[in-house]
């Protein structure tokens, strides 16, 4: 069994981020967050709240007025492909579903596989990927029903299905072993995969990962998805989406209108909103502790201390269970440090990769 690392605190070598290894994790500010994993707010809860706002608007404005303000029909995938596909992109049939995959960097380099978060897309990794591709083969893909990947043909969005898709993708691409990097939902998928297929993960990087249950997402029970959320299939004001995106940033000024436009466009891709609701309905969390204890892969935890979606204090839960984990925190960043401040957040990852 891997030996749990002793606690240490370091500084500038990690790009100014705070670093700790083992237990205890730095306590989250009590005025902002409780420490327990049961006190967090998630993307799913933000979207549920948006659903209620849209429903309220229907009643307050009436259907006609709302139609002008919020009507948001699906957008053509062919048009979105023209706008967002890049030279490094291709579509693959993997485990019975279609994925958009982006593959860059030297073909014989060490392989990094990136998994994005809920309602996001592979574009979230681009600032990091451009820099890392000089020395690493960087693979990222849109999860089914996200970005330019159409909904899963099986309408199955469970963690076991996600792991089987990753396994099949690596087999197709003839990649034996990767450094697996996941943010939020992608973090939960990453640690599940690392527990199930340890031989395929050389190192694990979890950026504010999902996993520990929160109100409305009890262990072993499907969540209760309110009916008004289904209105989002037809009505979705960009202003409300922007409010949800702002909650992922500590400094909202770093969220550009181009970012908002991209999130909005890809969320409106045909079938994506229905797929996201399906994913929410199928999210049945299991107590992660038993699986986390099985992961002896060297693991880097990265967390923005101003994360308003999955608070930084939850890192203590992961450090307690993971046998070989290092925590790096960013005092002035939020839920997506790689997107909010790529240059500031990348050096700790580069150090970890070089070890």
In a domain, 235, yes or no: yes
Q: Residue 7 falls within a domain, yes or no? A: no
The total number of structural domains that make up the chain: 1
Is 227 domain-assigned? yes
Handedness of CA 337, 341, 342, 344 (dihedral sign): negative
Does residue 2 form part of some domain? no
pLDDT means per 10 residues in the chain (355 residues)? 36 52 41 35 51 49 56 96 98 98 98 98 98 98 98 97 98 98 98 98 98 77 84 92 96 97 98 96 92 98 97 92 98 98 98 97
In tens, the pLDDT along 65-87 reads: 555 557 899 999 999 999 999 99
Residue 111: domain span: 42-354
Token output for 236: 């979705």
151-202: pLDDT as tens digits: 999 999 999 999 999 999 999 999 999 999 999 999 999 999 999 999 999 9
**Residue 217 belongs to domain with CATH number:** 3.40.50.1820
Q: Residues 6 or more apart from 60 whose CB is under 8 A from it?
A: none
Residue labelled with tokens 């029909």: 73
Residue 138 lies in a domain: yes
Residue 221 lies in a domain: yes
Please report the DSSP string for 266-316 in residue order.
HHTBTTHHHHHHHHHHT-----SHHHHHT--S-EEEEEETT-SSS-GGGHH
Alpha-carbon distances of 119 from 199, 273, 288, rounded to whole Å: 29, 9, 22
Residue 19 is assigned to a structural domain of this protein:
no
Domain membership flag for residue 34 = no
Read off the pTM.
Answer: 0.86
């Amino acid at each position: 069994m891997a030996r749990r690392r002793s606690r240490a605190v370091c500084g500038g070598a990690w790009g100014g981020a705070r670093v700790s290894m083992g237990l205890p994790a730095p306590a989250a500010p009590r005025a902002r967050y409780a420490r327990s994993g049961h006190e967090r707010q998630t993307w799913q809860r933000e979207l549920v709240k948006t659903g209620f706002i849209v429903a309220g608007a229907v009643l307050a404005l009436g259907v006609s007025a709302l139609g002008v303000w919020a009507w948001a029909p699906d957008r053509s995938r062919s048009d979105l492909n023209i706008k967002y596909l890049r030279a490094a992109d291709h579509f693959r049939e993997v485990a019975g579903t279609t994925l958009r995959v982006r593959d860059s960097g030297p073909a014989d380099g060490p392989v990094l596989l990136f998994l994005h978060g809920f309602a996001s897309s592979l574009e979230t990794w681009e600032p990091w990927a451009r820099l890392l591709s000089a020395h690493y083969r960087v693979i990222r893909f849109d999860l089914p029903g996200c970005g330019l990947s159409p909904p899963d043909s099986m309408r199955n969005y469970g963690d076991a299905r996600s792991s089987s898709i990753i396994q099949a993708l690596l087999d197709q691409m003839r990649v034996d072993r990767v450094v697996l990097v996941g943010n939020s939902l992608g973090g939960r998928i990453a640690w599940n995969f690392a527990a199930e297929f340890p031989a395929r993960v050389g190192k694990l990087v979890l950026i504010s990962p999902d996993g520990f249950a929160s109100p409305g997402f009890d262990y072993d029970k499907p969540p209760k998805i309110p009916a008004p959320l289904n209105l989002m299939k037809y009505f979705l004001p960009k202003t409300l989406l922007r409010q949800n995106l702002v909650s992922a940033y500590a400094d909202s000024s770093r969220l550009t209108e181009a970012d908002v436009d991209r999130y909005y466009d890809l969320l409106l891709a045909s079938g994506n909103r229905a797929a996201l609701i399906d994913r929410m309905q199928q999210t049945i969390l299991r107590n992660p502790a038993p699986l986390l204890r099985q992961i002896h892969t060297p693991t880097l935890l990265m967390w923005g201390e101003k994360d308003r979606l999955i608070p930084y204090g939850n890192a203590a839960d992961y450090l307690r269970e993971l046998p070989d984990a290092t925590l790096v925190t960013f005092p002035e960043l939020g839920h997506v440090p790689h997107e909010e401040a790529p240059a500031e957040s990348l050096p700790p990852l580069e150090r970890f990769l070089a070890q």
